[in-house]
Amino acid sequence: MMTLLIRAHQGDWGGAQLSDVEAVARSAAASFGAFHENESVAIALEPTASEDGLPRTHSALSPSGEFVIELNVRGNLWSQLAFQFAHEFCHVLADPRTWKEDGFAWIEEALCETASLFALRSMAKGWAIEPPYPNWRDYCSSLADYEAERTSDTARRLPPGLPLSSWLADHLTFLEAEPYRRDDNTIIATELLPVFERDRAAWRAVRFLHTWPRSSVAPFADFMNGWAMACPAECHHVVESIVVLLGVGNDR
């Protein structure tokens, strides 16, 4: 059985109980089918130094071998906590020790925004049936509402009738220069979401995003081709589905 260890460190969580912070994070992480049964992962959660600090995943493991995630949520804002944690959990899947802030960094940021929406949707359904605590059952609607709020703004949606591939052709240069364009990340995430909702094990493909040598000056099509080739056979279809949505060539 897969072992997931999540530990919240003492700090300014705005009065939220550490056990509750851990329960939300575990519920979000359980949404993903990214690990095999014989694997284990340990994550340490820390509050950012201030509420203005950006959530982040450290690029090195803790001395005890944990991935370290900082979140800026204060208080019992479980939807926001789940959203932030799921984004950073996706960075854990890709392995922050291999992160490269080059012209391809935007695809990981888009995948991490996809992870946030994915977790909120999954948790909204799951908490309606079996929440971490019985008195949290009614919170399922807040999780769903938070996801809807993130995707309802017209700035975060494709114009009607415009395919993602056409939109990306006009925005790729901007994303390559600035991967943290959150509205654009969300537009891509909303379109990628069905790939992962069809099969939660599709998240395993993200674990191979940086496991191959790449050139920062290669075309994006080469990057996608390299990612597909690095994946095990059962994950090839995941990258191929993303390639089709993004409208990039794949000469594999």
> What is the model's pLDDT at position 1?
59
Q: How confident is the model at residue 252 (pLDDT cuts 50, 70, 90)?
A: very low
Average pLDDT, integer, range 131-141 = 97
Contact 114, 189 (CB under 8 A): yes
In eight-state DSSP terms, residue 235 is G
Residue 251 has pLDDT above 90, yes or no: no
Q: Report, as an integer, the average pLDDT of 148-165.
A: 96
What is the average pLDDT score of the chain? Answer: 95
Task: Give 102-165 as a 3 state SS string.
Answer: CCCHHHHHHHHHHHHHHHHHHHHHHHHHCCCCHHHHHHHHHHHHHHHHHHHCHHHCCCCCCCHH
User: Strand runs (DSSP E) across the chain, as ranges?
Assistant: 3-8, 40-47, 56-57, 67-71
Q: For 219-246, what is the mean pLDDT?
A: 96
Element at 60 (helix H, strand E): none
pLDDT in tens, 202-218: 999 999 999 999 888 89
Domain ranges of the chain: 3-98, 105-246
Determine the average pLDDT of the residues in 234-247: 97
The token pair that represents 63 in the structure block: 């001395």
pLDDT in the model for residue 214: 87
| pLDDT surpassing 50 at residue 250 | no
Give the per-residue pLDDT at 249.
58
- Segment 130-139 shows an average pLDDT of 97
pLDDT above 80 (res 140): yes
Within 8 A by CB and 6+ apart from 89, the residues are: 25, 28, 29, 32, 43, 69, 115, 119
Note the pTM of the prediction, 2 decimals.
Answer: 0.96
Q: Is the per-residue pLDDT at 183 higher than 90?
A: yes
